[in-house]
Structure 1
Amino acid sequence: MKKVDYIVVGCGLAGISFCEVLKTNNKTFMVFDDASQQSSIVAAGLYNPVILKRFSEVWKAQTQLDIAMPSYAKIEKKLDVKVDYKHSIYRRFSSVEEQNLWFTASDKPSLEPFLSTDIKRNTNKYIDAPFGLGEVLRAGRVDTEFLISVYKKDLRSKGSIQEEGFHYSKLNISDSDVSYKSIIAKHIVFAEGFGVKQNPYFNHIPLNGTKGEVLTIKAPDLKLDDALKSSVFIISIGEDLYKVGATYEWTDKTNTPTENAKEELISKLKTFITCDFEVIDHRAGIRPTVIDRRPLVGRHPNNENLYVLNGLGTRGVMIGPYVAQKLFNFIEKNIELDAEIDINRFEN
């Protein structure tokens, strides 16, 4: 039997974030992951402190960025890779009224660090933006697919991951620890995304799950270096390739891409992009979304060694490191979880 401090189930953004906190605090762990959950891989990886539909601040945006950005920088340095690409996000204005709403929002103290007060004139002949563009600051993109790939490779080299499905029936729980196959741990953290629906210990938590589909296109003439948000977003990922997304579907819970979503994304993209492009990839995943748009973090009501880290929704890149630190402090330092992220908020 191998003894570790933690078993972590899931190696998406939530699982990686928690592993990083464990490493920082010199805790040992074993990860189990079967790559069945696609949302972190499919995600475009955009981190954006502003809700651009309403020109309002993302929940705890400044705090999240202050924790997340050093976390990704640390991973980059440790693994000698590049995963964090800092660039602006431009919001395409569809009217003078939207420009005015942007200026009003930029006067708010919480949004002032993130919204430029200069309306950018569009100079790209293949982008239709007669009312100009608003620039979001402190934004960028994490290459989530590459991050997960290199992170798993590193865990593999250290013997810290078992790439297989987790069989809940083989988990043994005692007052002092948990054991699974040949692993004994003080605690187990389930960071499974939408896969938590199959987890008998936490399938009661109100995780809705929202299907999102994203295209990768090749557009050699576009020459867009940043991210642009209109009816859909388009993000440069280099070599004339761009991510385009995303759709929102609440009933279909499969990872299968659909023609309807593809047509929807292409149709919306063509409302503001005028150059030719070719679709070269199309993916889908189920985002772990919650009705109140807050994460699901906490301890099992009857088993003190079982914990959940979930509900990162559409903003996993920003929120993952923040909630991972919160959960660690709760387990190891008895620091109470904030009521707005604690799974107990749904008790009644």
Structure 2
Amino acid sequence: MVDYLVVGMGLAGISFCEVLQKNKKSFIAISDTSQISSVVAGGLYNPVILKRFTLAWNAKEQMERAIPFYRDIELKLNHKLLHKVPVLRRFTSIEEQNIWFEAADKPNLKPFLSPDLKFNINNQIDAPYGYGEVLGTGRLDTAVLVKTYAANLLSKKLLLSERFDFEELRIFDSHVEYKSINAKQIVFATGFGLKENPYFNYLPLNGTKGELLTIKAPLLQETNVIKSSVFIIPKEGDLYRVGATYNREDKTNMPSDAAKEELQKKLNTFLKCPYEVVDHVAGIRPTVKDRKPLIGRHPQHPRLYSLNGFGSRGVMLAPTAAQQLYDLVETNSPLEKEIDISRFANKS
């Protein structure tokens, strides 16, 4: 009998497994590669919604937990995962500058928005109105995290690389059984895969397809993240991630020519130097209609839990959400009402 069975090994599943290990709880994780949004994500952690110059929900608290959380994983895995990178919001007018300065003067945004106009010094980028700088930002290498964390669990025989088969799940008052595994609790951290979960598919997980390009641009020589109509995220070797698109209709992980054309069209409005597209990836973000996660205990089966719905802010959300779910299970500490799945009644 293990304490937990964890299904899914993206940011949510990894964060929950890490909380379990810190609390010396036994577990087995199960994962396949059907949901890849954590792997293809840009990995930015940024507390500010730059489209509207507003603070993301609970951003300060999430940032305070997330950075040391990932630092601990870096030390354990002996892999560099966190990269401090400034995010510069490109202005397109004097009006946008003024809106930024007004936002930077608000008490909740002051710690995160620089009040100083940053002038463009890169002649490969068209930014005549300069930038606003977001403070305390960076990038988590999600692809390396997923790969190395899974390898670490495999080496300890704590991870089964297979598709979860609901036909093999048996639920009892005292525990759950899955094939030969007995567990006190089961946590589903499957991202968009929650749609195929017969116990939690009543939840309004919509899913939004996001596509990103990787370009090689030797002349660009940019070390900051540039946010304009698209993000440009610097990587090593003159490579940059460019994204992202938002498609609510297509639910496949296949890259599309339409999205590639859209990203390049937006990029070309401000990037002056030549570049080569060297990669193009797609994944389904687990988005929710009210833009809050789906966390909590199943209303009829108290040994079943959901840890899902992080949307595009998984890097910041996952450590806090994982801890809150753990506290719910172990000490019955109430979840924040905004994220508790009890806000959506189970009609089944």
TM-score range, shorter chain: over 0.9
Q: From 184, 189, 192, give the equivalent of 1:191.
A: 189
Normalising by the residue count of structure 2, what TM-score does the alignment of the two structures yield? Answer: 0.99
Q: From 244, 247, 250, give the equivalent of 1:249.
A: 247
Report the 3-state secondary structure (helix = DSSP H, G, I; strand = E; otherwise coil) of the residue aligned with 1:244: strand
Q: Which residue number in structure 2 is paired with residue 66 of structure 1? A: 64
Q: From 132, 140, 143, give the equivalent of 1:142.
A: 140
Q: From 310, 333, 336, give the equivalent of 1:335.
A: 333
Report the 3-state secondary structure (helix = DSSP H, G, I; strand = E; otherwise coil) of the residue aligned with 2:305: strand
Map 1:181-330 to 2 at 5 A.
Answer: 181-330=179-328
Map 1:74-85 to 2 at 5 A.
Answer: 74-85=72-83
- Structure 1: any 5+ residue segments left out of the alignment? none
* 1:271-325 deviation per Cα after TM superposition (whole angstroms, max 9, x unaligned): 1110000000000000000011100001111111000000000000000011111
Which amino acid letter does the alignment assign opposite residue 9 of structure 2? Answer: C
1:110, distance to aligned residue in structure 2 (A): 0.9
Map 1:155-194 to 2 at 5 A.
Answer: 155-194=153-192
* 1:18-50 deviation per Cα after TM superposition (whole angstroms, max 9, x unaligned): 011111111111110011101101101011000
Identity fraction in percent: 59
1:342, distance to aligned residue in structure 2 (A): 0.5
Report the 3-state secondary structure (helix = DSSP H, G, I; strand = E; otherwise coil) of the residue aligned with 1:319: helix
Report the 3-state secondary structure (helix = DSSP H, G, I; strand = E; otherwise coil) of the residue aligned with 1:6: strand
Distance 1:283 1:333 in 2: 41
Distance 2:305 2:176 in 1: 12
Which amino acid letter does the alignment assign opposite residue 71 of structure 1? Answer: F
1:73, distance to aligned residue in structure 2 (A): 0.1
* 1:212-234 deviation per Cα after TM superposition (whole angstroms, max 9, x unaligned): 00000000000011200000000
Distance 1:68 1:316 in 2: 10
Q: Which residue number in structure 1 is paired with residue 84 of structure 2? A: 86
Distance 2:91 2:288 in 1: 29
Distance 2:133 2:322 in 1: 30
Q: Which residue number in structure 1 is paired with residue 99 of structure 2? A: 101
Distance 1:160 1:71 in 2: 21
1:133, distance to aligned residue in structure 2 (A): 0.6
* 1:126-150 deviation per Cα after TM superposition (whole angstroms, max 9, x unaligned): 0100000110011000010111000
Q: Cα RMSD between the aligned structures?
A: 0.7
Distance 2:179 2:84 in 1: 42
1:347, distance to aligned residue in structure 2 (A): 1.6
Distance 2:317 2:84 in 1: 17
Distance 2:66 2:108 in 1: 18
- Structure 2: any 5+ residue segments left out of the alignment? none
Q: Which residue number in structure 2 is paired with residue 125 of structure 1? A: 123
Normalising by the residue count of structure 1, what TM-score does the alignment of the two structures yield? Answer: 0.99
